[in-house]
Amino acid sequence: MTITFVGHGYVGLVTACVFADLGNEVYVIGHTTEKLNKLKNGDPIIYEPGLQEVLKRNLDSKRLHFTNSYEAVNKSEVVFIAVGTPPKPSGEADLSTVLEVAQQIGKNLGNHYTVVSCKSTVPVGTNRKIEAIIKEVVKTADFDVASVPEFLREGSALKDTFEPDRIVIGANNEKATNLLLKLHEGLTGERVTGTLESAELIKYAANSILATKISFANLIALLSEKVGANVEEVLTGIGLDRRIGNIFLSPGVGYGGSCFPKDVMALTHIGTTLGVDMGLLHGVTDINLAIKDLFYEKIKATAPDKNIGVWGLSFKPDTDDIREAPAFYVIGKLLEDDYQITAYDPEATENVKRLLRDKISYSDSAADAAKDKDALIIFTEWNEFKQFDLNELKKLLKKPVIIDGRNIYEPKKMKDMGFTYASVGRKTT
């Protein structure tokens, strides 16, 4: 098929590359000349494992095209909207870009049947708004709208797109659903088809339950510290119950990223405006904030000397994405307390420099960030940190103090090696 994506971020670029790889003719519309030129030259702009290779392969095969023109819409059977839907201060999703893009798509629809599919995470009712906007712009076009929410995870986005657990398609009729089922034929995963409203709600509900699992694990971590239990043992003990499962039941310094915080807030907003008591999700957000504050307090209590190293800035490993990364919140508070911070992240440093500039120092290696520091703080569980030689780390640090927001080391081993080791939901040793 010939298909178009509007937006070339983590979702648009990855899914466009995957559909090109499956043999489709794919156009990607962007609005920044500099980024489009980089993409045309094989630079994926974002860090995502394996992406550069797939991008290059499909540029070489001439199945993947980057453009700032909406003309591509005209020849496409399916047009995906994959632009951002950031939160407004109220928590409500900001749909301005989605709706603006819908208008442009409407103006450029061809004389043949097209399905305009929204991949962006949007509140229930948005696809009907998109439909109304397009109908207003072009009275006679032969089109349907569809909601095809995306579930990829940054860091494993390509694998998740080639081998998703499920593909959700919400549409008004079978014609649109069947065309999208055909487009997705080369991908694995269960198919879930239904109404526009169901598909829109599935996405918010899925992210909210994942965030709920994390906040629940953090609540149990907090209780574990109070009662002298080890949260990892507690969560293993409950997660082995197949009704519960242990995936995502992981304590830490809170969830971040461009999705969980905003999607939990957006679903809370949706429910509240409909008169539904959203106390459960208020609790999820409150715990996530509290856990970051408690981690900051733990750093202050464990590392009173203020020349510290930081490992990890991205909101999770294997991505350069720093949106809503817990590290930022905590670093911001530490800076107010006059901590001097030297940070290292394998991929996110350039993004952080653009925001924090010279407020902190940056290292080119994990070893350099730890060298001669009064303490080391771990915010992200990159493999590089898990595998770091702890004997070397002890020699590098001025004081052998580690405050670990991701529980990547064993407290007993750290104690035996002579570290002061504070982690989450476990006794400081």
Ligand X SMILES: NC(=O)c1ccc[n+]([C@@H]2O[C@H](COP(=O)([O-])OP(=O)(O)OC[C@H]3O[C@@H](n4cnc5c(N)ncnc54)[C@H](O)[C@@H]3O)[C@@H](O)[C@H]2O)c1
Which spans of this chain sit near ligand X (rule: CB under 6 A)?
A: 6-12, 29-32, 82-85, 97, 100-101, 119-121, 150, 152, 154, 258-259
* Minimum gap (Å) between residue 311 Cβ and ligand X: 23
Q: Strand 307-311 to strand 420-422: parallel, antiparallel, or no bridges (unpaired)? A: unpaired
Q: Toward ligand X, which CB reaches closer, 81 or 396?
A: 81
Q: Toward ligand X, which CB reaches closer, 50 or 239?
A: 50
CA distance 62 to 32: 21
* Minimum gap (Å) between residue 149 Cβ and ligand X: 7
Q: Facing residues of 385 across strands?
A: none
CA distance 213 to 206: 11
Give the distance from CA 255 to its chain's centroid.
Answer: 10
- Tell me the DSSP string of 86-116: PBPTTS-B--HHHHHHHHHHHHH--SS-EEE
CA distance 304 to 151: 42
Active site (annotated) includes residue 259: yes
Q: Toward ligand X, which CB reaches closer, 295 or 315?
A: 315
**Which backbone phi and psi does 153 adopt, to 5 degrees?**
-110, 135
Q: Toward ligand X, which CB reaches closer, 6 or 146?
A: 6
Among all residues, whose Cβ is closest to ligand X? 9
* Minimum gap (Å) between residue 262 Cβ and ligand X: 7
* Minimum gap (Å) between residue 364 Cβ and ligand X: 26
Tokens matching residue 342: 């030297």
Tokens matching residue 142: 């032969």
The alpha-helical segments, DSSP class H, found in 90-230 are: 96-108, 126-137, 157-162, 174-183, 196-227
* Minimum gap (Å) between residue 121 Cβ and ligand X: 4
Q: Toward ligand X, which CB reaches closer, 82 or 331?
A: 82
The alpha-helical segments, DSSP class H, found in 303-380 are: 326-336, 349-356, 366-370
Please answer whether residues 133 and 99 qualify as being in contact, where contact means their C-beta atoms are separated by less than 8 angstroms. Answer: yes
* Minimum gap (Å) between residue 84 Cβ and ligand X: 4
Q: Strand 375-378 to strand 401-404: parallel, antiparallel, or no bridges (unpaired)? A: parallel
Q: Toward ligand X, which CB reaches closer, 94 or 374?
A: 94
* Minimum gap (Å) between residue 330 Cβ and ligand X: 22
Q: Toward ligand X, which CB reaches closer, 120 or 351?
A: 120
Q: Toward ligand X, which CB reaches closer, 151 or 421?
A: 151
CA distance 149 to 216: 25
Instruction: Name the active-site residue from 16, 18, 168, 259.
Output: 259
Q: What single letter denotes the amino acid at residue 307? A: N
Q: Of 4, 154, 135, nearest to 65 (Cα)?
A: 4
Q: Of 397, 423, 396, 420, nearest to 409 (Cα)?
A: 423
- Tell me the DSSP string of 264-323: HHHHHHHHHHTT---HHHHHHHHHHHHHHHHHHHHHHHH--S-EEEEE--SSSTT----T
* Minimum gap (Å) between residue 30 Cβ and ligand X: 5
Tokens matching residue 38: 């980089």
Cβ density class 165-195: b for 16+ within 10 Å, e for less: eebbbbbeeeebbebbeebbeeeebeeebee
Q: Tell me the catalytic residues.
A: 259
